[in-house]
Amino acid sequence: MSNVLRLAIVDPNDSSRESLKAMLLGMDMIWLEAECSRYEFFADVVAQTNPDIGLVSVDRDRDKALELVARLAESSPDCSVLVVSSSNDGQLILQAMRAGAKEFLTQPVRIEDLLGALGRISERRFGRGDKKPRGSQVIAVCGAIGGVGTTSIAVNLGCALARDAKNSVALVDLDLCLGDADVFLDTIPDYTLVDVAQNVTRLDFTLLKRSLTKHSSGLFLLPRPVQLADIALVTPEDLQRVIGLMKATFTHLVLDLSKSYSPIDLVALEMAHHVLLVTQLDLPCLRNVVRLLMSFAEMKGIGDKVKIVVNRVGLDHGQITLKKARDTIGRDIFWQLPNDYRTMIEVRNNGVPLIEHAPKAAITQAILGMAEALTRDDQSGASEAQGRAGRSRLFGFFTSKGK
């Protein structure tokens, strides 16, 4: 739990305490250490539980609450006090800050404001070093051409990440017209990206999780809109907020991009930590990879995040060699995934992920290896690792599998 902010809350008002708790409980970066309904007991609760943050709701009795803030600042100086009030009276804010509060939020608390306050507190506590609370990892999966395997990879990567109980993972289908991530997971979702985008300012973390569809693998899915007419309702700004909210809720976000490289896709590329560019070993694909890399290089911060994933290695003898591909693209191949048409078509048609349907298959192992490499700290070491471990396994595929 060392990379999580531990929080204790005091609010004599049951309903506002419950709603604050609901918001906090859905956040991965927060561990709710203790709750208390009486101001007079809270200093002891904090002394005993030693949380990073003490959240004090001051509405029930301002004088008592401010006294408590001052007491906490003295008796538990390591605990950052965050004051919440339904009033934004400047005098009250001043009094709270003078008493020792580090942050002040007004009710109803907006998620963005809470995140901002928590971010500032964690920065002050941990600095910019490695001990910062674990952030969310955003992985955008895009492709060099239609049908290259983007969705297959995004869905199965999401399931592979969700296999680790420490992770909470969501997949967002950003192919707004024709996305089919829901088919791969055999789900009929109640809500889509449009619902979440339109309500993003009103959603708390619990509601957000309820709006997503949870697959038995543990992966949460936010699917594309149902109606074509609804696509226009999702603006790039909305998506930015949705991703921001989801980053605070999940340890990993996988974004399945469309092939149109629209403003929506660009938001995803900008917000991602890793961009997996999926290609196959044929001329049209590699030509597009070169073009895309040239465009990405013009976009601030995107070029460096791109990792080339070669899919369907061993598809046929006419394929361009990996060496030639590497030379043409001018960068290393991050990961190779073998061709296994039968398994891939089965998992899609049955709506069952690879780890469930074919856990031992080389394609599954390659995706698990890629998930592990992405979550490992040393990325350069990770690419090398596949070079060593993957090649011999892939070799069998060259000879045994065809289309």
Ligand X SMILES: Nc1ncnc2c1ncn2[C@@H]1O[C@H](COP(=O)(O)OP(=O)(O)O)[C@@H](O)[C@H]1O
> Where on the chain is the footprint of Mg ion (CB under 5 A)?
150-151
Q: What is the rounded distance in angstroms from the CA atom of residue 310 to the CA atom of residue 293? A: 15
Least spacing, CB of residue 204 vs ligand X, in Å: 32
Which C-beta is closer to ligand X: that of 30 or that of 373? 373
CA distances from 33 to 10, 40, 109, 361 (A): 11, 18, 20, 43
Which C-beta is closer to ligand X: that of 100 or that of 149? 149
Least spacing, CB of residue 355 vs ligand X, in Å: 15
The residues binding ligand X (CB under 6 A) are: 143, 146-152, 311-312, 337, 339-341, 344-345, 348, 363
Cα angle 320-326-330, degrees, rounded to a multiple of 5: 135
Identify which of 89, 47, 48 has the alpha carbon closest to the alpha carbon of residue 66.
89
Which C-beta is closer to Mg ion: that of 33 or that of 173? 173
Which C-beta is closer to Mg ion: that of 154 or that of 373? 154
Which residue is nearest to Mg ion, using beta carbons? 151
Tell me if 281 sits within 8 A of 319, measured CB to CB.
yes
Which C-beta is closer to Mg ion: that of 88 or that of 260? 260
Cis peptide before 108 (omega within 30 of 0): yes
Amino acid, single-letter form, for residue 383: S
Supply the DSSP symbol for 305: G
Which C-beta is closer to ligand X: that of 35 or that of 340? 340
The entry of ligand X, Mg ion, none near residue 337 (CB within 5 to 8 angstroms by kind) is ligand X
Least spacing, CB of residue 151 vs Mg ion, in Å: 3
Least spacing, CB of residue 113 vs ligand X, in Å: 37
Least spacing, CB of residue 383 vs ligand X, in Å: 19
Q: What is the rounded distance in angstroms from the CA atom of residue 379 to the CA atom of residue 386? A: 11
Q: What is the rounded distance in angstroms from the CA atom of residue 167 to the CA atom of residue 169? A: 6
Least spacing, CB of residue 204 vs Mg ion, in Å: 31
The entry of Mg ion, ligand X, none near residue 339 (CB within 5 to 8 angstroms by kind) is ligand X
The entry of ligand X, Mg ion, none near residue 249 (CB within 5 to 8 angstroms by kind) is none
Which C-beta is closer to ligand X: that of 133 or that of 314? 314
The entry of ligand X, Mg ion, none near residue 251 (CB within 5 to 8 angstroms by kind) is none
Least spacing, CB of residue 184 vs Mg ion, in Å: 9
Least spacing, CB of residue 153 vs ligand X, in Å: 7
Identify which of 202, 199, 375, 401 has the alpha carbon closest to the alpha carbon of residue 313.
401
Cα angle 344-334-321, degrees, rounded to a multiple of 5: 75
The entry of ligand X, Mg ion, none near residue 312 (CB within 5 to 8 angstroms by kind) is ligand X
Which C-beta is closer to Mg ion: that of 178 or that of 290? 178
Beta bridge partners of 278: 143, 309
Which C-beta is closer to Mg ion: that of 164 or that of 180? 180
Query: Backbone phi, then psi, for 33, in 5-degree steps?
Result: -80, -40
Cα R_g (the chain), whole angstroms: 24
Instruction: State whether residue 352 is helix, strand or coil.
Output: coil
Tell me if 121 sits within 8 A of 53, measured CB to CB.
yes
Tell me if 219 sits within 8 A of 159, measured CB to CB.
yes
Structural tokens at position 39 = 């101001």
Beta bridge partners of 254: 139, 171
The entry of Mg ion, ligand X, none near residue 76 (CB within 5 to 8 angstroms by kind) is none
Which C-beta is closer to ligand X: that of 148 or that of 200? 148
Least spacing, CB of residue 154 vs Mg ion, in Å: 8
CB atoms within 10 A of CB 44: 11
The entry of ligand X, Mg ion, none near residue 247 (CB within 5 to 8 angstroms by kind) is none
The entry of Mg ion, ligand X, none near residue 344 (CB within 5 to 8 angstroms by kind) is ligand X
The entry of Mg ion, ligand X, none near residue 168 (CB within 5 to 8 angstroms by kind) is none
Give residues with Cβ within 8 angstroms of 364, minimum separation 6.
Answer: 156, 343, 354, 355, 358
Least spacing, CB of residue 103 vs ligand X, in Å: 43
CB atoms within 10 A of CB 237: 12
The entry of Mg ion, ligand X, none near residue 146 (CB within 5 to 8 angstroms by kind) is ligand X
